[in-house]
Structure 1
Amino acid sequence: MSESLRQLQHAFMDYLNTGETASFQPHVIAQGRITVDTRLAIYRNAYRIRLTETIETDHEVLGLYLGDDLFDQMTRGYIQQHPSTVPSLRDFCDALPTFLAQKMPFSEHPILADIAAFERRLLNAFDAPDAQRLGFSDLQQLPVPDWPRCQLRFHPSVQIYSCQSNAVEAWQSIKAEQTPTAPDYSATRHWLLWRGDTRLTEFISLAPFQHELLMGFIQGRNFAEQCELMMQFFDVEQAPQQVLSALQAWFEMGLIAKLQT
């Protein structure tokens, strides 16, 4: 790419993001009755509409929760503060949860950032690479002496999401065309998300011990270490049974991609 073309592209992007025409206007000519300023405005408006549509697509439920006026305010502020910097719009909204957590008036309602973060996790699970999925029979075939040292590697779509609000419950209510309950910040909630065999994104809530167990395996702990960890929640006989029961469920859900000893 020639340096002059690169400079022209940068000048065009500067105009789209800031509205400043000084560096780019000389490269545009009028067309019939359409002035240079009008032609530039058409491009800039179309570009911002495309960015707005991306936010609407990625965060449909958040938009319904906010309502039209607040959603328009959010999209204008986000586009101004976080202009797109790469050709693909796949990651354009990655900073939206942080924006909502820091920008007034949205920061006064933490559930908004939580809903946005949950929708990002759903998108990540849906877009994750494909990988093999092991069955429980693969674990059963593992030599007994190897069980204590066994570690799990999860399917790339597996996501763990934790938040201090009832954001996911509100998301579910809106999806079901029901009125969500008032925001509740009384307890930390944990959720497991993944893409199933049918390529549908699924999620379930996690009890505290289930969250600890999943995070332990994700962080590389082996079966023996996980059984010891579960003794914080269960007695010495129940702990291994709880780990084994969880493992069987995870295999059935298609969460496990690899066993490693």
Structure 2
Amino acid sequence: MNYQQAIAEFARTIDQPNSTNSAISPATQANMAVYRNNVRLNRANALQIAYPTIFALLGDEFFMAMADCYTEQTPCHSANLQREGEQFPAFIAQFAPAQPYPYLSDVAQFDWALHIAHTADDCTTLSAQSLAEYVDELSELIFTLHPAVSIIESPWPIASIYAMHHGQAAPQDLQQAESVLIWRDQYQVIDAANAQFLRQLQQAQPLAQALMAAASISANFDPAASLGQLISQQLIIKITSTSTASSQGALQK
């Protein structure tokens, strides 16, 4: 057994309490429960850091019990604990004791988006001057947004619930839908048309298609304001023109 196989076997033994590993000495085998408990505790603590709003909503005991169930049922896929918990919102959605709180999964998505935005890589962004160079082919442009950008659309007031745990008033209507643009350590509640527009851009659709999708939701959609925010917040990292990409490749400034 080579080194990589030994590490993989050790990890499998930690994830599977009833498994054995011939590469591990009997003395170490007897102490695997200590390793296993330490790993699960570290993962649970990482979840608490990544999901502060969920922790505040549920309290220590409920949250840590749910986190323990999650770590038991969900293998760790990354050595980076900052990426621990990507599947936690989906887990919460099907976790029976959390069913009385149907908004929890979407609030968890909000927490995770802020967490990922905070730790996203820095990127060189484009200025208004860069965009102006393509003014004659705006409708054909494809925008690549900063990896810190997330758009969450929820039937629940997820941003208001988050704000409540940061000193603001509680939401008056838990049935109020909210769409949220998240970037770095900031967020903004946006309307459905703006959310559709940004999601289209994030999915690498041409600007013309994104505009039509937003306009189909609201005739009052203001594309200049939405694009202006992306530029002012430095959230565009690349522009590609569909008319020239096939012959010249990506246009990047």
**Is 1:54 aligned to residue 46 of structure 2?**
yes
Partner of 2:248: none
Segments of structure 2 that go 5 or more residues without pairing to the other structure are 242-253
Match of 2:202 among 214, 218, 224: 218
Report the Cα distance in structure 2 between the residues aligned to 1:230 and 1:22, rounded to whole angstroms: 56
Instruction: Note the alpha carbon deviations across 1:122-151, whole angstroms, 9 max, x for none.
Output: 1222232322222223233435x3233333
Q: Which 10-residue stretch deviates more, 5-14 or 79-88?
A: 5-14
**Is 1:189 aligned to residue 187 of structure 2?**
no
Instruction: Note the alpha carbon deviations across 1:155-175, whole angstroms, 9 max, x for none.
Output: 222211111212221112113
Match of 1:251 among 201, 206, 231: 231
Partner of 2:147: 156
Partner of 1:63: 55
Q: Which runs of 4+ in 1 moved over 6 A?
A: none
Match of 1:44 among 26, 33, 36: 36
Distance 1:9 1:172, change over 3 A: same
Task: For 1:188, give the aligned amino acid.
Answer: A
8 Å CA contact 2:150, 2:183 repeated in 1: yes
Written as runs of structure 1 = structure 2, the 5 A alignment for 1:136-215 is: 136-143=128-135, 145-176=136-167, 180-181=170-171, 184=174, 186-195=175-184, 201-215=185-199
Distance 1:21 1:217, change over 3 A: closer
8 Å CA contact 2:138, 2:207 repeated in 1: yes
Q: Which 10-residue stretch deviates more, 18-27 or 63-72?
A: 18-27
TM-align CA RMSD: 3.0
SS at match of 2:81: coil
8 Å CA contact 1:12, 1:24 repeated in 2: no
Task: For 2:228, give the aligned amino acid.
Answer: Q
The alignment covers a number of residue pairs equal to 240
* TM-score normalised per structure 1: 0.77
Task: For 1:154, give the aligned amino acid.
Answer: L
SS at match of 1:156: coil
Partner of 2:250: none
Report the Cα distance in structure 1 between the residues aligned to 2:230 and 2:240, rounded to whole angstroms: 16
* TM-score normalised per structure 2: 0.79
Partner of 1:198: none
Bigger Rg, which one: 1
Distance 1:204 1:11, change over 3 A: same
Segments of structure 1 that go 5 or more residues without pairing to the other structure are 31-35, 196-200
Query: What's the CA shift for 1:21?
Result: 7.1
Report the Cα distance in structure 2 between the residues aligned to 1:163 and 1:70, rounded to whole angstroms: 24
Instruction: Note the alpha carbon deviations across 1:193-223, whole angstroms, 9 max, x for none.
Output: 113xxxxx21111112211222233344444
Partner of 1:33: none
